[in-house]
Amino acid sequence: MTLPNQPSNVLTAVEEAKEELGDAGNPTKEKVDKLVEEFLEDVKQDLIETKGWPLNMSAYNVSKAALKDYTRVLAKKYPTIAINAVSPGFTKTDINQNTGILTVEEAALGHVKLALIADTGISGLDFEQTEESTFY
């Protein structure tokens, strides 16, 4: 993927990243690794804005996207194991001075649901709390 040199092309860069990273039919470890490596190199060179990466919580957003795609890669590689991703949501914890929206108990519902559906053959999916989500 070639990221733009001009911030005016941020939308194009984001769309290219979604296309490359989010290829639902063919996620590969190599594609995800390449995108993460490009991001890390751009961070080291202080090129996040120039290259069109998300500015707000960029490391969090890129790592979350990578984890979601790695979930699909692993689910494809190990079809007899239920491998899914779950995002619990903004949860009240010490790390955010309890400013989250959900209690720990509420946030745990998605994890419990995934544990209970493990034998159904559902794999390679992303969940936002208890609901199936799109990857992007």
Measure Cα distances from 106 to 51, 128, 134 in Å: 38, 12, 21
Does the annotation count 70 as an active-site position?
Answer: no
Which residues in 53-105 belong to E strands, given as ranges? Answer: 85-87
Buried b (16+ CB within 10 A) or exposed e, 86-95: bebeebbeee
Q: Please tell me the distance from the alpha carbon of residue 116 to that of residue 114, in angstroms, as a whole number.
A: 5
Active-site residue, from 60, 70, 78, 136? 60
In the chain, beta strands by DSSP E: 85-87, 126-128, 131-133
Q: Which residues are identified as catalytic?
A: 60
